[in-house]
Amino acid sequence: MAPIVHRIPGLTLVDHEFTVPLDHARPDGEQITVFAREVTAAGADSSHLPWLVFFQGGPGGKSPRPTGRSGWIRRATADYRVLLLDQRGTGRSTPVTHRTLARRGDAAAQADYLKHFRADSIVRDAELIRAELAGPDVPWSILGQSYGGFCAVTYLSIAPAGLREVMITGGLPPLTASAEEVYRATYRRVLAQNRRYFERYPGDQERAGAVAAYLAEHDVRLPDGSPLTPRRFQQLGMAFGASDGFESVHYLLEEAFVEGPDGAELSETFLRGALEALSFAGRPIYAILHESIYCQGAASRWAAERVRAEYPEFEPAPGRPLLFTGEMIYPWMFELDPALQPMRAAAELLAEYDGWPPLYDVARLRANTVPVAAAVYYDDMYVERAFSEETAATIAGCRVWVTNEHQHNALRADGEAVLGRLLAMLRGEV
């Protein structure tokens, strides 16, 4: 079947579907589908241009859905044929949801299935796709944002011959740090972001405390029927690592309360906004595999929950200023979120699984010959800068741009400039 072609203002889009093994160690076993969208400048002959594959953040995030030639895609399509990859389990690729997992059988079968959805499998998918689209002997360029950068470093570790050049934004991963070490650093970053938030919006300390106190005294339900507890409310701080994250939380808190028939109560506007921010219905892989991205030969055993005990200031308590948490996944989320509840048993098995294979080859990275340019954001709340700088120093030839001009979402917020800077670094122009 010929690929489906769509044309939107400034861009030509071509849909591709590929069949890949669920388990690359068993190429003749069960097969799944991986979807990718080719993006080129409208009206131009792009057939001669090299490929640039985009690895989205996550884990469990689908690729962007372009609506026009803008942002980083505008800059990229000047020099490349862009391939937006829906990583396995996401978007139009064979999906992972609680409904599709139910078809696998019991919790053990579901957990075994999910073990094949980390960066190593994603990279091997990409290698099969590269051979089909570009040719087995033609390397391509890749751009990895956030978790996509983790995938890029895995790519450099297991299949560097397939790479022409690598660009990474906010996604140089810790190569050897344990999940516990990662979350200790993350909690410290989140504390700093709370301080900055309440300095910008000092009145929100009282507002946040009032919301938490109300939740502690009332059975409050979000529009999907799930409970909103003080701990779940704290998770709104996950937004704090983005350039517009403080504002998204502030504007939500501004409209938190209305006067109901029995006095002050939480508004429908607030509850709907909270549901949109807190539900994992559209990104279950993010929740169920998040801690595993830091695991190599060890179990996570709910590292974020265990390390939280070392930071008692995060516990909601009367008379204590409320702090928001960040990019942490807790076991109780699988009890409260309807999208995660059916996966609770599988999540417990994955948290105890200690057979995760290595994701990075330090010796190979030290001998790297692929050109690499990476943006590291000085105050990144999601990816610890110190770990990123250690990784950059390990990857031979890696050029690094450390900046406090941007937050973690810079590729989305100012993508044309960010990608332009990375390309200039690769070409020796800066």
Supply the DSSP symbol for 104. T
* pLDDT tens, the chain, 430 aa long: 678 999 999 999 999 999 999 999 999 999 999 999 999 999 888 889 999 999 999 999 999 999 999 999 999 999 999 999 999 999 999 999 999 999 999 999 999 999 999 999 999 999 999 999 999 999 999 999 999 999 999 999 999 999 999 999 999 999 999 999 999 999 999 999 999 999 999 999 999 999 999 999 999 999 999 999 999 999 999 999 999 999 999 999 999 999 999 899 999 999 999 999 999 999 999 999 999 999 999 999 999 999 999 999 999 988 889 999 999 999 999 999 999 999 999 999 999 999 999 999 999 999 999 999 999 999 999 999 999 999 999 999 999 999 999 999 999 999 999 999 999 999 999 8
Q: Which amino acid is at 89?
A: G
- Please tell me the predicted confidence (pLDDT) of residue 1: 64
Q: Name which of 74, 36, 58, 244 is nearest 149 in CA terms.
A: 58
Other CB atoms within a 10 A radius of the CB of residue 50 amount to 15
Based on the residue annotation, tell me whether 116 is a catalytic residue of this protein: no
- Please, is 104 exposed, middle or buried when counting C-beta atoms within 10 Å of its C-beta (0-12, 13-18, 19+)? middle
Residue from 120, 380, 388, 406 carrying the catalytic annotation: 380
Neighbours of 321 (CB within 10 A): 14
Our answer to whether residue 380 is catalytic in this structure is: yes
Query: Which pLDDT does position 164 carry in this prediction?
Result: 98
Q: What is the pLDDT of residue 318?
A: 87
The DSSP output letter for 92 is T
List Cβ neighbours of 312 (8 Å cut-off, separation of 6 or more). none
Query: HSE of 89 in the Cβ direction (CA atoms, 13 Å)?
Result: 26
Contact 170, 147 (CB under 8 A): no
pLDDT of residue 319: 85
Dist. CA 48–CA 278, nearest whole Å: 44
**Residue-by-residue DSSP string for 42-71:** TTS--TTSPEEEEE-STTTPPPP---SS-H
Environment class of residue 268 by beta-carbon count within 10 Å: exposed (0-12), middle (13-18) or buried (19+)? exposed
SS3 369: coil
Q: Is 146 a catalytic residue?
A: yes
Q: What angle (nearest 5°) sits at the alpha carbon of residue 70, between those of residues 64 and 73?
A: 55
**Neighbour order of strands in the sheet with 5-8:** 5-8, 11-21, 31-41, 81-86, 51-55, 140-145, 163-169, 372-377, 398-403
CA separation for the pair 366, 368 (Å, rounded): 6
Which of 167, 103, 150, 92 is closest to 370 using CA atoms? Answer: 167
Give the span between the Cα atoms of 22 and 125, in whole angstroms.
9
- Cα–Cα distance, 289 to 92 (Å, whole number): 19
| CB-CB contact of 160 with 126 (8 Å) | no
And the tokens for 154? 């895995």
Q: Which of 146, 157, 292, 388 does the annotation list as catalytic? A: 146
